[in-house]
Amino acid sequence: MIRAVTVSATHDDPFTAGRDASAELLADLGRAPDLVLLFSSAKYDAARVLEGVHSRLPAGVPLVGCSSYAEIDTEQALTSSVTAMGLLLDGIELQTFQVAGRGVDSFAAGREAGAGLAAFSPSLVITFPDVLDMNATQFLLGLQDTLAKDTPIVGGASADDGAFRATYQFHGQSVTSGGAVGVALKGRLAVATAAKSGYTPIGAMHTSTRVENGKELLEIDGRAALDLYRDYLGERAAQMPAVSIEFPIGVVGGIAGTQRQVDDSLLLVRAIFNVDEPRGALILGGDIPQGATIRVTRATKQDVIRGADEATVQALESMPDPDVALIFSCMSRKSVLGPRFPEECQASFARLPAGLPKCGFYTFGELSPVQGVTMHHESTYTIVLLKALS
Amino acid sequence: MRCETCLLTSEEGASLPLEGFLDRLETCDECPLESGQEPCPLVAVERLALRARASSRALRKLGNRLRQSENMAKDLSAGIAEYEERAAKLEVLQQAGVLEANRELRAKMALVEQKEEAILALSTPIIEVWEGVLVLPIIGNLDDRRTGEMLSRLLEMVSLRAAEYAILDLTGVDRIDAATADQIIRICRTVALLGAKVILSGIRVEVVLVLARLELDLSSLVTMRTLKEALLRCGVGAAR
């Protein structure tokens, strides 16, 4: 059985927050963990947080994680915290990895990470890429290009406070900004995943007729994408670009030929991170192929909460008695929910077995399999249930 | 007050939860170990150290909870401010929307009025078919407003043209109610006061029945079956 403890520490001083989290983790676990997952609010100095964590954590304990928009621990979703999960892996092997960013080709970076893990033959890969530096869709495709096709890849893109300026990755004792970090697990491990957005399409189906650099949607049905999108928003267009995070673009049938099979439903949602007024373009958080069938989507607070609930129910159908739950939810969901954002975790946690250790964060994009194929999502609540097999 | 059983050395003291231990310790202000009256055994030091660590941890947890609660309160406060800002924006938008809607409504009403005027003018054509002979074909229902307009225009034309005859042609009136019939009679009588001879033409059976039911004195009215006959009566045909 995997044993895990999650702690959250909040302090004005980042070092103290990191130190308190680490001290509490050791006290609760009663021994040094086999692995630490660390998610630190972007409000903290990431390097000082990690120093604090290592001031108490025994040397050599593998650690991966990243900066976050908000954090999730066993009890709740919260902000301004350093949240750490310590895991005792019950014989499950692990291998951490880190790939450099800043100007590297994202697909090649994914291939590099995958090549380093291929010999390890992982049962699960958990990764935290920096989408401000690299293209997470391409990074994922690179990973999938080198790993076994059915290897589940989960995790989330590191985040900041919503300014989209810089995010940070933790790997052992190093803090970087850019690239990706992660950990691969191997052994008698069962994994169940689910991803649901709760967003529903509004209006007609359209075609993405001009896309540049994977994420820049310039034209929809031959019209400037921004103009058509503004038509949908109506009076609320005055609040762009902030409001656009609440009205993501849904890709009908996912992305054919790459990340999933064609289907009529909306399985992939792309958040709009920014707009390019002079070019009339929508800048998305992830790739969207030219020629894809797309729809503008929206969600009420209840829809978002329902999405989290449905994802949890679906994951539990595959694994009713997990040892650990990891949760990666999109920052856009927190934006939609506002002060009510903890409610989606409350709805999800109410379904999970009492006392189940949980950990996660609010991301700039999620990675989770859907129907057996890992996809790069946005605006989605993803849940990963883990269990050591006896 | 001195403890009956020493908290630092007894099993009872060791088994107490932290809060209970600290409560008891607080009241023990005559401790012979603290004052040096008795030598302090190692077990007491060990237990005190253990309790100190547990206290430190509890304090840390409480501090965390407090700070997290403060953060939550800050988030809520920010959320409320955001909601208020959004509500204010919506209010402005709503007011702007109402003003815009009112403007649009007023513009539409003005347009409707203009159209009504135009329709009214079109629905009361008065044609001077011959010198001194005016024809007013009546189509559709007559209400007070239309009757007033019709009467006013007819009087004006009769006066202006010094008309000898005014023909009210009812060929286009399929049915008529009592009020409309009364209006027609009123027009006839008023026009006659100007000295013009009024002829009603094209009266259908249904219209005649309604006029008969009104029990009015119609002896002064000249009625003809068709407009053609009415025109002949006015000498239009003879002149040609």
Asked if B182 contacts B143 with a C-beta cutoff of 8 angstroms, the reply is no
Q: What average pLDDT does chain B have?
A: 85
Structural domain includes residue B225: yes
Structural domain includes residue B222: yes
CB contact under 8 A, A79 and B61: no
The residue assigned the tokens 């399999």 is: A369
Same domain, A69 and A164: yes
- CA–CA separation, A367 and A181 (whole Å): 13
Structural domain includes residue B13: no
A58 half-sphere exposure, CB direction, 13 A CA radius: 10
ipTM of the complex: 0.75
Same domain, A158 and A235: no
Q: What residues contact A190, with CB distance under 8 A and at least 6 apart?
A: A319, A386, A387, A388, A389
* Shortest alpha-carbon distance between residue A19 and chain B (Å): 11
What is the distance of C-alpha A151 from the center of its chain? 17
* Shortest alpha-carbon distance between residue B61 and chain A (Å): 8
Full residue range of the structural domain in which residue B184 is found:
124-235
Same domain, A131 and A8: yes
> Which of B71, B83, B89 faces A80 most closely, judged by CB atoms?
B71
Interface-testing mutation among A13, A24, A68, A80, with chain B (most B C-beta atoms within 10 A): A80
A78 reaches B (C-beta below 8 A): yes
Which residue of chain B is at minimal alpha-carbon distance from A337?
B79
Structural domain includes residue B133: yes
In what helix (H) or strand (E) does residue A38 lie, and over which residues does it extend?
strand A35-41
CB contact under 8 A, B80 and A339: yes
Last residue of a domain, one of A298, A327, A355: A298
What is the count of residue pairs from A and B with beta carbons less than 8 Å apart?
Answer: 41
Sheet of B165-172, strands arranged across: B127-130, B133-139, B165-172, B197-201, B222-224
pTM of the predicted model, to two decimals? Answer: 0.73
390 residues of chain A, pLDDT tens digit each: 999 999 999 999 999 999 999 999 999 999 999 999 999 999 999 999 999 999 999 999 999 999 999 999 999 999 999 999 999 998 999 999 999 987 889 999 999 999 999 999 999 999 999 999 999 999 999 999 999 878 999 999 999 998 889 999 999 999 999 999 999 999 999 999 999 988 888 878 899 999 998 889 999 999 999 999 988 887 777 777 777 778 889 888 655 444 544 445 666 788 888 889 999 999 988 888 898 889 888 888 999 999 999 999 999 999 999 999 999 999 989 988 988 899 999 999 999 999 999 999 999 999 999 888 898 898 899 999 999 998
Same domain, A252 and A233: yes
Last residue of a domain, one of A268, A298, A328: A298
Among residues 5-44 of chain B, which lie with CB inside 8 Å of chain A? none
B82 reaches A (C-beta below 8 A): yes
Of the candidates A155, A95, A45, A105, the one whose C-alpha atom is nearest the C-alpha of residue A377 is A155
CB contact under 8 A, A11 and B67: yes
Last residue of a domain, one of A275, A298, A321: A298
Asked if A247 contacts A298 with a C-beta cutoff of 8 angstroms, the reply is yes
- CA–CA separation, A325 and A352 (whole Å): 9
Structural domain includes residue B204: yes
Of the candidates B74, B67, B69, the one whose C-alpha atom is nearest the C-alpha of residue A11 is B67
Same domain, A124 and A192: yes
A11: chain B residues, CB-CB within 8 Å: 63-64, 67
Among residues 167-226 of chain B, which lie with CB inside 8 Å of chain A? none
> Which of B71, B80, B83 faces A10 most closely, judged by CB atoms?
B71
Same domain, A335 and A187: yes
A174-187 per-position pLDDT tens digit: 999 999 999 999 99
The CATH number for B128's domain is 3.30.750.24
High-pLDDT (> 90) share of chain A, %: 72
Profile chain B (240 residues) by mean pLDDT over runs of 10 residues.
Answer: 82 91 87 87 92 93 93 88 80 81 90 83 82 88 77 89 91 79 84 89 84 75 88 73
A312-340 per-position pLDDT tens digit: 999 999 999 999 999 999 998 998 898 88
Same domain, A356 and A250: no
Same domain, A173 and A26: yes
Q: Identify the pLDDT of residue B240.
A: 43
DSSP strand pairing (A200-212 vs A293-298): antiparallel
Same domain, A137 and A239: no
The number of distinct structural domains making up chain B is: 1
Structural domain includes residue B143: yes
B93: chain A residues, CB-CB within 8 Å: 235
A338: chain B residues, CB-CB within 8 Å: 79, 82-83
Full residue range of the structural domain in which residue A290 is found:
200-298
Same domain, A171 and A212: no
Q: How far is CA B151 from CA A137, A299, B121, B225, in A?
A: 81, 63, 12, 23
The number of distinct structural domains making up chain A is: 2
